[in-house]
């Protein structure tokens, strides 16, 4: 049911009680339908596909007892045919299970004209079925007695014309929602010919424009729903002649301009929905004194409308979701709305102003704002509340004790805040059905909640989510008393102890269980049969379950996601496991010691993700199910060629998006079979023994985001078809034998590239200047090649190394098997040499910046422009033939953590600005020609002598060379440096602009060196 007041519900129920009074069946044993009408119904049934057998009762002589059929008790004629889908996806939690039930119970086929024999039919409902491929049959206009017609969401392709509707002069209810009627340009004129019409629903009918209506005849309308169309106009004037309308829904229509003052003409209007439109930000809301239900959500009102809304004193329902409200709610806004019992102001930017005086309020949603500070104790004044959602804010502190006053509360959501403290406050809330306190900082033991409340909530609680907190201690046995519990999620806490069968004893309703990432031990007998049948999540990752594979798992036939990662299984996967659940989508058995071989082919009915990484699986790679989108077999012992795996043809398109076969013993060449894997986003084949060249067919993977072929025996040049992979964000082909020049098109073809690792290959020649065009580059590793030439000055264009990182993950969108899309983190792992050690980065990769050109044949000086890379964290130029001085502005690179300039030919002093690098923890300047005294700042005293070894002219601690020796340096050193300084200064004063910038830095460098020599 859509959001409307109880008043309107009562009106509608009353109207259709009057309409239906003659449909009452009375004593059904005295009713015998006519043969003509029975045959008509059977012929109608022949045109239908009934896969769920809904019409199984349509047999025998008495059709008046058939499902959906009602007859008039006096005349024995069929007057009522209700074939609405019994599963309404809008009246329950929408997920794959409810969606599947809905689709299975849909009738399909065609609507037979045999219905014309039902000449007394006054009620027809075919809604929520699937008559795809057929138009709404115009013969329905010949059912002249129809008073109620519902064809909504029945899958019809549309209507050629609505003229047939004009013949239904008795029609009082018409619902054609989701029927494409835009081709019937006279739709409004036709409907205007129905003088008895009371309720009209045309939701999502592709209506557009601004139809006019000179004379309004259907003024009898009480309820009008035109939502989810695309009028993209001003609100049409004819609406304001509907003098009897009580409920008006104009949401989702892109109406713009002002909200017309003519709304005041609708004296009977009580329900008004103007959500999802484009009204002027500074609009004035008319004074609608009788309004009880108002929805202004998803408009850009910017707070200017609050005073107008505050004058609507009859309101009991107010929704202002995503209306760009910010700051503090004015106290006068809600002061007059004493009748309000429903308030939804979620998805704004409110910082304070929680209502505390509305004693009649039953529903309060302030989620997804910026509410700060603690929860006020005055919240306990809202004693009528049964729904409270404050999730996704910045609330902190504990739950106020006055929350215990909300004894009618059944829905509590405080997730994604910074709340802390214990949970004992909730102990007296015996009506709680839904509790979500996940992603906070709550502490203490769960027994503080269950101990006080387990008895009173044992028959009410259905949903409990406490994941991602800091709860500790054991899970109490009283959990097993909550017989209605459907969801129990406590993952990512510090819970410990043993869970036995008693903890689950009466959880017969449980459909989702997640206890992963705790310190729990599951201790149940090998023949235990759980009382529940999970349908969604079974999460026990990081609990202790092994060493045997849990046999009780075979009793769970319908779960969708299984997490048994890191549970201590030292066993092979039993054969029954691969068919255990017909609904499974995700299986995670990673980080165990599972052994054996996988079945070939590896098939689940609907599985989309398999995570078997970090086990001891061996043998050849299996063939796959075409519906699989994620496969992780990394860190195992798989061997043999990769060709059978990649080149095995599938009956259907495969949907694999994420393929990780890294860290195995795979061998042979990469085959030319990549054309079969067109949805791949991530390829990880690193750390195997693959040989050969990169096949050209890899260029067909135009959606590819990450390519990792690291540490194999691949060779040759990078093929030009790789230029087609314009979405690449990560390229790691390091530790191979690739050769030739680094292609210049690398800098032109990958505008979103973040990671480029070509390390430890045989690339030669100069670093291409085109790399400077990839401004998004955060990690560039060209170390251990045969590169020559100078360091490009244009590296200052690598702006991602110069600006602060403000994201924590790299994300991508991939399509699912059903054609939808799913956002996900790029769960890639990159190996980098950082602080002298190869480290692996995964989810924090977007926070890392690194430039490594070490162990090549680079010459020349370090360009001063490098010092503009202010966010660079790791810089390695070691093992080259670089000369000149270290740039004096090196201290500007304040994010630097690792700096290695060793094994070059740098000269001059260590710039004093090094002392600005407060995060620097690894420094290597060894084996150069540096001179002078090592700066005496605290930062430099943390490094040992190996940092400076091989620089004979350096002295001072921690070097063993005494600074006293500097006093005996020949005076000619000072003399020569002074003369050079004078020369540089004279040229600079000639104001030759083309050299002035260069000389400026050289002069400062010489001055600093002379000063240091003079001081010491």
Q: Are 420 and 444 in contact (CB under 8 A)?
A: no
The residue ranking higher by pLDDT, 313 or 842, is: 313
Instruction: List, in sequence order, every beta strand (DSSP E) within 541-629.
Output: 561-563, 586-588, 595-596, 609-611, 616-619
Give the residue, 291 or 997, on which the prediction is more confident: 291
For residue 588, pLDDT beyond 90:
yes
Q: Are 867 and 875 in contact (CB under 8 A)?
A: no
In this prediction, residue 1013 carries a pLDDT of 44
Cross-strand pairs, 434: 411, 463
Cα 562 to Cα 752: distance, rounded to the nearest angstrom: 34
pLDDT at 704 over 80: yes
93 or 855: whose pLDDT is higher? 855
CA dist 317 and 144 (Å) reads: 39
- Sign of CA pseudo-dihedral 318, 321, 324, 329: positive
683 vs 670: CA distance, rounded Å: 12
Q: Which of 629, 731, 632 has its CA nearest to residue 680?
A: 629
Measure CA 722 to chain center.
Answer: 29
| Mean pLDDT on 1001-1012 | 47
What residues form DSSP beta bridges with 660? 632, 684
Rounded to whole angstroms, the Cα distance separating 620 from 608 reads 21
Kindly report, residue by residue over 13-42, the tens digit of the pLDDT.
444 444 444 444 434 445 588 999 999 999
Domain boundaries, the chain: 533-638, 971-1015
More confident residue, 83 or 813: 83
Residues 6 or more apart whose Cβ sits within 8 Å of residue 274: 250, 251, 255, 259, 294, 295, 296, 299
Q: How far apart are CA 713 and CA 733, in angstroms?
A: 10
The answer to whether the Cα torsion of 306, 312, 314, 317 is positive or negative is negative
Mean pLDDT of 325-333: 83
pLDDT of residue 938 exceeding 80: no
- Average pLDDT on 543-549 reads 94
List Cβ neighbours of 95 (8 Å cut-off, separation of 6 or more).
Answer: 536
pLDDT at 820 over 80: no
Residue 115 has pLDDT above 90, yes or no: yes
CA distance readout (Å), 663 to 639, 690, 1012: 11, 11, 53
Distance CA 253, CA 233 (A): 8
- Which pLDDT belongs to residue 992? 46
What average pLDDT does this structure show over 568-586? Answer: 90
For 362-395, write each residue's pLDDT tens digit.
999 999 999 999 999 989 989 999 999 999 999 9
> Can you tell me the mean pLDDT for 873-899?
96
pLDDT at 5 over 70: no
On the question of pLDDT at 981 being above 80, the answer is no
Least confident of 41-45, 228-232, 817-821, 961-965: 817-821
Q: What tens digit of pLDDT does each residue of 423-468 get?
A: 988 877 889 999 999 999 999 998 877 765 556 777 889 999 999 9
pLDDT (0 to 100) of residue 814:
43
CATH superfamily of 533-638: Ribonuclease Inhibitor (3.80.10.10)
What's the confidence (pLDDT) of residue 426? 86
- All residues at 6 or more sequence positions from 175 whose CB lies less than 8 Å from its CB, including other chains: 127, 149, 150, 151, 152, 199, 200, 201
To the nearest whole number, what is the mean pLDDT of the chain?
Answer: 87
Count helices and strands in the chain by DSSP H and E runs: 12, 65
Model confidence pTM above 0.85:
no
pLDDT at res. 13: 41
Please give the angle made by the CA atoms of 672, 678 and 682, to the nearest 5 degrees: 90
Query: CA–CA distance from 355 to each of 309, 313, 375, 677 (Å)?
Result: 15, 16, 11, 55
- The predicted-structure confidence for 199-218, as pLDDT tens digits, reads as follows 999 999 999 887 888 888 88
Q: Report pLDDT digits (tens) over 501-531.
A: 999 999 999 999 999 999 999 999 999 999 9
Give the whole-angstrom CA distance, residue 954 versus residue 910: 9
Average pLDDT score over residue span 674-692:
94
- For residue 308, pLDDT beyond 90: no
pLDDT at 637: 98
- pLDDT 10s digits, 765-776: 999 999 999 999
Model confidence band, residue 888 (pLDDT cutoffs 50, 70, 90):
very high
d(Cα 211, Cα 209) in Å, to the nearest integer?
Answer: 6
Closest to 204 measured CA to CA, from 159, 253, 168: 253
Q: How many CB atoms lie within 10 A of CB 649?
A: 8
Q: Is the pLDDT of residue 56 over 50?
A: yes
Structure tokens at 95: 């997920």
Higher pLDDT, 605 or 783: 783
Rounded to an integer, the average pLDDT of 533-548 is 95
Dihedral angle over CA of 966, 970, 971, 977, nearest 10: -80
690 and 639 in contact (C-beta within 8 Å)?
no
Q: Residue 898 above 90 pLDDT?
A: yes
Whether the Cβ atoms of residue 181 and residue 155 lie closer than 8 Å to each other: no
Mean pLDDT computed over 343-350: 95
Q: Quick one: pLDDT at residue 949?
A: 94
Statement: residue 277 has pLDDT above 70: yes
Least confident of 179-188, 748-757, 764-773: 179-188
Rounded to whole angstroms, the Cα distance separating 815 from 833 reads 34
Q: Map tokens 């502190």 to a residue.
A: 397
Whole-Å CA distances, 471 to 100, 296, 468: 37, 40, 9
How confident is residue 311, by pLDDT bands cut at 50, 70 and 90? Answer: confident
Q: pLDDT value at position 229?
A: 93
Please give the Cα distance from 504 to 480 (Å, whole number): 5
């Amino acid at each position: 049911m859509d959001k409307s007041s109880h008043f309107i519900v009562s009106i509608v129920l009353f109207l259709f009680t009057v309409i239906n009074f003659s449909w009452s069946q009375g004593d059904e044993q005295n009713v015998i339908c006519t043969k003509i009408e029975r045959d008509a119904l059977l012929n109608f049934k022949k045109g239908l596909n009934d896969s769920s057998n809904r019409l199984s009762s349509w047999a025998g002589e008495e059709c008046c007892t058939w499902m959906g059929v009602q007859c008039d008790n006096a005349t024995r004629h069929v007057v009522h045919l209700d074939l609405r889908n019994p599963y309404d996806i809008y009246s329950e939690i929408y997920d794959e299970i409810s969606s599947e039930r809905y689709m299975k119970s849909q009738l399909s086929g065609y609507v037979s004209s045999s219905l014309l024999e039902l000449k007394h039919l006054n009620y027809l409902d075919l809604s929520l079925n699937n008559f795809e491929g057929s138009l709404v049959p115009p013969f329905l206009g010949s059912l002249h007695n129809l008073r109620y017609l519902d064809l909504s969401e029945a899958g019809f392709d549309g209507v050629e014309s609505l003229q047939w509707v004009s013949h239904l002069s008795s029609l009082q209810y018409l619902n054609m929602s989701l029927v494409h009627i835009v081709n019937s340009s006279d739709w409004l004129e036709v409907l205007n010919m129905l003088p008895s019409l009371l309720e009209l629903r045309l939701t999502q009918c592709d209506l557009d424009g601004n139809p006019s209506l000179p004379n309004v005849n259907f003024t009898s309308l009480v309820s009008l729903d035109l939502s989810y169309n695309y009028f993209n106009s001003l609100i049409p004037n004819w609406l304001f002649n509907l003098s009897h309308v009580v409920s008006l829904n104009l949401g989702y229509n892109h109406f713009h301009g002002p909200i017309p003052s003519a709304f005041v003409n609708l004296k009977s209007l009580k329900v008004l929905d103007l959500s999802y439109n484009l009204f002027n930000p500074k609009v004035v809301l008319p004074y609608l004194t009788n309004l009880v239900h108002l929805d202004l959500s998803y408009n850009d009102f910017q707070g200017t409308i609050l005073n107008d809304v505050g004058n609507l004193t009859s309101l009991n329902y107010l929704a202002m979701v995503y209306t760009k409200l910010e700051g503090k709610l004015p106290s006068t806004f809600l002061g007059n709305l004493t009748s309000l019992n429903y308030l939804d102001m979620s998805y704004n930017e409110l910082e304070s102003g929680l209502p505390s005086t509305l004693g009649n309020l039953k529903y309060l949603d302030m989620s997804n704002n910026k509410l700060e500070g603690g929860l006020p104790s005055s919240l306990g004044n809202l004693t009528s509340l049964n729904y409270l959602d404050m999730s996704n804010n910045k609330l902190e502190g504990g739950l106020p004790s006055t929350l215990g006053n909300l004894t009618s509360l059944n829905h509590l959501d405080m997730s994604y805040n910074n709340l802390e403290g214990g949970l004992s406050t909730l102990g007296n809330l015996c009506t709680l059905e839904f509790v979500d306190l996940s992603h906070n900082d709550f502490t203490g033991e769960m027994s503080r909640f269950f101990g006080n409340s387990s008895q009173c909530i044992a028959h009410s609680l259905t949903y409990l989510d406490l994941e991602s907190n800091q709860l500790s201690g054991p899970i109490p046995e009283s959990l097993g008393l909550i017989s209605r519990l459907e969801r129990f999620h406590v993952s990512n806490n510090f819970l410990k102890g043993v869970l036995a069968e008693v903890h689950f004893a009466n959880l017969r309703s449980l459909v989702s269980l997640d206890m992963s990432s705790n310190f729990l031990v599951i201790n149940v007998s090998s023949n235990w049969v759980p009382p529940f049948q999970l349908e969604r999540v079974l999460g026990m990752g990081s609990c202790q379950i092994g060493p045997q594979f849990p046999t009780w798992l075979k009793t769970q036939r319908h779960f969708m996601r299984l997490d048994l990662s890191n549970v201590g299984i030292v066993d092979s996967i039993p054969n029954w496991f691969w068919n255990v659940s017909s609904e499974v989508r995700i299986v995670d058995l990673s980080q165990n010691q599972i052994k054996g071989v996988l079945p070939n082919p590896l098939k689940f009915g609907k599985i989309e993700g398999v995570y078997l990484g970090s086990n001891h699986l061996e043998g050849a790679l299996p063939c796959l199910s075409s519906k699989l989108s994620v496969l992780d077999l990394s860190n195992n012992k798989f061997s043999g060629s990769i060709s059978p795996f990649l080149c095995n043809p599938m009956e259907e398109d495969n949907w694999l998006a994420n393929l990780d076969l890294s860290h195995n013993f795979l061998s042979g060449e990469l085959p030319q079979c990549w054309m079969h894997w067109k949805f791949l986003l991530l390829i990880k084949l690193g750390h195997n023994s693959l040989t050969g060249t990169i096949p050209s067919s890899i260029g067909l993977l135009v959606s590819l985001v990450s390519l990792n072929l690291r540490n194999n025996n691949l060779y040759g040049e990078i093929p030009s078809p790789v230029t087609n992979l314009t979405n690449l964000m990560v390229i790691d082909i390091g530790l191979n034998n690739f050769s030739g020049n680094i292609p210049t098109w690398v800098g032109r073809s990958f505008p979103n590239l973040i990671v480029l690792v070509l390390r430890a290959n045989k690339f030669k020649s100069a670093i291409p200047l085109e790399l400077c065009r990839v401004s998004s580059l955060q990690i560039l590793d060209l170390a251990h090649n045969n590169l020559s030439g100078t360091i490009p000055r244009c590296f200052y264009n690598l702006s991602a190394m110069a600006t602060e990182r403000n994201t924590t993950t790299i994300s991508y969108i991939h399509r699912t098997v059903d054609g939808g899309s799913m956002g996900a983190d790029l769960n890639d792992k990159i190996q980098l040499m950082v602080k002298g050690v190869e480290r692996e980065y995964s989810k924090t990769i977007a926070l890392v910046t690194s430039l490594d050109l070490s162990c090549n044949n680079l010459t020349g000086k370090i360009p001063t422009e490098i010092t503009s890379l202010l966010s660079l964290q790791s810089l390695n130029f070691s093992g080259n033939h670089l000369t000149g001085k270290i740039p004096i502005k090196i201290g500007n690179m304040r994010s630097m953590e690792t700096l290695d300039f060793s094994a070059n030919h740098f000269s001059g002093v260590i710039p004093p600005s090094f002392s600005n690098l407060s995060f620097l923890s690894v420094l290597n300047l060894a084996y150069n020609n540096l001179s002078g005294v090592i700066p005496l700042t605290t930062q430099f005293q943390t490094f040992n002598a190996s940092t400076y070894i091989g620089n004979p002219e350096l002295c001072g601690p921690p070097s063993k060379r005494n600074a006293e020796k500097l006093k005996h340096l020949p005076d000619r050193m000072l003399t020569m440096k002074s003369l050079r300084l004078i020369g540089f200064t004279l040229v600079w004063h000639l104001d030759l602009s083309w050299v002035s910038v260069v000389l400026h830095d050289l002069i400062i460098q010489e001055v600093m060196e002379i000063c240091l020599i003079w001081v010491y």
